[in-house]
Amino acid sequence: MAHTFMHRVNSLFTFAGTVLAGMCVLATLTDQIHTSDPQVSVKVAMVERFMRIDRNDEAYLAFDIDADLTSVFSWNTKQLFVSLAVEYETKINAMNQVSVWDRVVERREDAVLVLPYVRNKYKLVDQGSNLQGLAVNLTLEWNVMPITGSVSVGRRTITGFRLPQEYLAADPSTMGIPHTRAGGRRGGMKHMS
């Protein structure tokens, strides 16, 4: 049987597809041996508002985020999805996790996050009135999205913070104005010893 032009094109594409699939498998395997050591620090700068609306507690927080995630990037990393969650326990739910901030990092050069006084993108809402005086954890999580392979997740949890015992109304003097360290810190979270 003579090899026609179409047979040769088919053989070429089959060979190219096989080589590409093999390279993807190798790329995925090399990502499994990649080790990283991210440096993460998250602090609550201020509780701007803490109130009960209808039957739910709501808190508006500001954070100081200092994270160096450059070591998380490998040659196979497309982007990182970085998020900050507030985690706490109540009598009703053993584990509550509320995402309050996120960001997509597409380049290694942008993976150093030095964010003083960043406000939460998404409000902290508890179903019920369980937040007063409650101990909470702050968890910075990053999802590593590779060019090829499976998504992996890393996280750092910072413990030892407690929400105020009393509700705080919004202070109009601090709303919409960038935070300055010279000013007072009304309503900040208390660090537990």
Residue 4 CB-density burial (10 A; 0-12 exposed, 13-18 middle, 19+ buried): exposed
- Cα distance between residue 69 and residue 120, in whole Å: 20
The two three-digit tokens of residue 143, written as one number:
């999802």
By DSSP bridging, strand 124-126 and strand 56-68 are antiparallel
Q: Is residue 174 predicted with pLDDT exceeding 70?
A: no
User: For the segment 34-53, what is each residue's pLDDT rounded down to a tens digit?
Assistant: 888 999 999 999 999 999 98
- Cα distance between residue 47 and residue 45, in whole Å: 7
Q: Which of 27-31, 118-122, 152-156 has the lowest mean pLDDT?
A: 27-31
The DSSP-derived string for 59-119 is EEEEEEEEEE-GGG--TTEEEEEEEEEEEE--SS-S-EEEEEEEEEE-SGGG-EEEEEEEE
Q: What is the pTM of this model?
A: 0.76
The predicted model gives 143-169 an average pLDDT of 91
Strand-pairing partners, residue 125, are: 58
Could you tell me the pLDDT band of residue 138, with boundaries at 50, 70 and 90?
very high
Percent of the chain with pLDDT over 90: 56
Q: Is residue 176 predicted with pLDDT exceeding 60?
A: no
